[in-house]
Amino acid sequence: REDQFEMELHLERLRNSILKSQSRAKWESVNYDLMEAILLKNVSKIEISLNNLLRPVFHKHFNPSIATNKIISHPAAGWAKLSWLKGMEVEVKHPLIPKELLPVQPLSEYPEYEFMMNDPDSCLE
């Protein structure tokens, strides 16, 4: 699939970034581990990596907004949701990943809203 290819490409870029810069390696490696685990469909490694991302040092770095960083970890919740979307129902019991956001529940139908029918380029004219 196309998204698999894109993830593999991004994983390669992260690997190169980690090898080039020791100072960035600490931050990049946590995302690398998560992406690799998702590509390998390794649920236990995903859960371990998510818990690592939720450690205070990483949480503060990746969630600088004081408005939301006490409520949710956007990166960790995003990786967890991506895992669910790819069929891996990871379980991380942490208040910064609301478990109610994770299940994938497709709607029976998707109504078309007016804004969806507009040509996106028309607003640029």
Assign 106 a pLDDT band (cuts: 50, 70, 90): confident
What are the pLDDT digits (tens) for 21-53? 888 888 889 999 999 999 999 999 999 999 999
For the chain, give the percent of residues with pLDDT over 70: 94
Q: What is the token pair recorded at 8? A: 């593999």
Distance CA 25, CA 6 (A): 21
Instruction: Give the torsion sign (CA, 53, 64, 25, 1).
Output: positive
* 63 contacts 75 by C-beta, under 8 angstroms: yes
What does the angle CA 54 – CA 10 – CA 84 come to, to the nearest 5 degrees? 50
Distance CA 4, CA 24 (A): 25
